[in-house]
Structure 1
Amino acid sequence: MNPIIVIPARMAATRLPGKPLADIGGLPMIVRALRQAEAAKAGPVVVAAGDAEIIEAVETAGGRAVLTDPDLPSGSDRVLAALEAVDPQGAHDVVINLQGDMPFVEPEVLARTADLMARTGCDIATAVAAEASPADRGNPDVVKAILTMVNGEWEGRALYFTRSTLYGDGPVWRHIGIYGYRRRALERFCAAPPSPLERREKLEQLRALELGLSIHAVVCDAAPLSVDNPVDLEAARELAGS
């Protein structure tokens, strides 16, 4: 297995325009994500940038970036475009997709995602964490992963992902938006149109399940902060200053 980490980023975020370059403790957010990915030592790191400004910031910090079409429909499409640009010969058979709005993701999460792919035959690997509070169960902004996992296990196969409320005994796993793809699985995923369940739940990982691709998840200690709006950005700045 020869993995590569690709970080998709674009300036035109709906709720926080320009967020890849938002200053967090003296560093652009995309550079913080880059540094965490490099620390994982799970393979070379490339930023899939939708804008020239992002490339300039990454290269100024000593990183590698490639310009992708800003009109690509999703981060997954941006990852595939960057992968084809930097590795047209297909040397990297696994790609780890790290969102550029996770400036404090633990490098171990990326390393464990790559390790999960190495140890299993799954098409896609991802990560989950335990619910932060009982309120997570009914929060549609918290994506829940339903896994084939019994007590004492720390990884399992994903049966479904949902925004709906989960009832009954047992843990509720919050999905962390980090993915490891077999290259062939990413190509198949991006070639397919959005699926019915994906459109219903607004969760693109359901397209993979409807295609018959297998997804396994590893349990991590906590979900990293994802910067989606101005409130999250202030929280990130406070965390950087702590």
Structure 2
Amino acid sequence: MKFLALIPARYASTRFPGKPLADLAGKPMIRHVYEKAHAFFSDCYVASDDERIVRTVEGFGGQAVMTSAEHRSGTDRCREALDRIEASTGKRFDAVVNIQGDEPFVAEEQLRLITGCFDDPATEIATLVKAFDAHEDIFNPNSPKVVLSTDGYALYFSRSAIPYLRGTERDRWQRSHKFLKHIGLYAYKSSVLRRIAELPQGTLEKLESLEQLRWLENGFRIKAAETHSESLAIDTPDDLKAAVEFLRRSEK
């Protein structure tokens, strides 16, 4: 399959304005993400509605595409970017990999796993999961959970801890069951991306504020692969400080 890697990036952020351009170890954060992605994918673009981000990416030799500002999500931005890139280059892509612009430590293992999901021709959408570590809080609503079928497809995503362990005290849940957290890396067949971008917002999505529930509600299947690589999203300035410390530890 021919993959297109897209990195949606917005300058505006309620908690961290200008986040993609924040300095991380002497480079803008978006450059860390781009270099990790481009090392794996020959076709890689940052998709943004902000000229500052586009200029920064092109300034370090990367590829970027301007998109409109009215998108509800990174998925919608990826759909527009796919159309623009195919129209301008004449290339056709079988699948799109959506790499979060605030994940500067995305690992090659994760990219290999998510693209490997498409070895099964039935895969429409793919994502990653990771087992919660013992020190992590499974009850944290900011860390979405997922439960899978026996053949590795997502049954449901939730901000609540799922499954509910009836008859087990809450402080023993994590010792009694392997809980899976969702890693926000997606890949879609191009034809599927165009279809899901047209879907209206779903009831479950509104309740949980999780976009992927819109796809499940509409009958799409999401294949999940389990990663063992640590992920660290940067949503706030404090997260950036943690990322700098993470880099220092990893370089020792």
Distance 1:196 1:223, change over 3 A: farther
Q: Secondary structure at the match of 2:17?
A: coil
So what's the TM-score if we normalise by structure 2? 0.89
Q: Is the 8 A contact 2:204 2:214 kept in 1?
A: yes
Q: Distance in 1 between matches of 2:225 and 2:79?
A: 23
Q: Which amino acid aligns with 1:63?
A: G
So what's the TM-score if we normalise by structure 1? 0.93
Task: Indicate whether 1:44 and 2:43 are aligned.
Answer: yes
Q: Which amino acid aligns with 1:217?
A: A
Q: Distance in 2 between matches of 1:101 and 1:40?
A: 18
Runs of at least 5 residues in structure 2 that lack an aligned partner in the other structure: 166-175
Runs of at least 5 residues in structure 1 that lack an aligned partner in the other structure: 150-154
Q: Distance in 2 between matches of 1:203 and 1:83?
A: 23
Q: Distance in 1 between matches of 2:116 and 2:47?
A: 23
Q: Say what the alpha-carbon RMSD is for the aligned residues.
A: 1.5
% identical equivalent positions: 41
Task: Indicate whether 1:75 and 2:74 are aligned.
Answer: yes
Within 5 Å, give how 1:113-152 maps onto structure 2.
Answer: 113-133=114-134, 135-149=136-150
Distance 1:170 1:71, change over 3 A: same
Distance 1:77 1:184, change over 3 A: same
Q: Deviations 1:81-116 (Å, cap 9, x if unpaired)?
A: 111100135710200000000001102201210111
Q: Distance in 2 between matches of 1:201 and 1:223?
A: 24
> Which 10-residue stretch deviates more, 163-172 or 25-34?
163-172
Task: Indicate whether 1:239 and 2:238 are aligned.
Answer: no
Q: Is the 8 A contact 1:142 1:163 kept in 2?
A: yes
Q: Which amino acid aligns with 2:69?
A: P
Task: Indicate whether 1:175 and 2:182 are aligned.
Answer: yes
Structure 1 position 4, deviation (Å): 0.7
Partner of 2:159: 163
Q: Distance in 2 between matches of 1:223 and 1:239?
A: 11
Within 5 Å, give how 1:51-70 maps onto structure 2.
Answer: 51-70=50-69
Q: Is the 8 A contact 1:40 1:108 kept in 2?
A: no
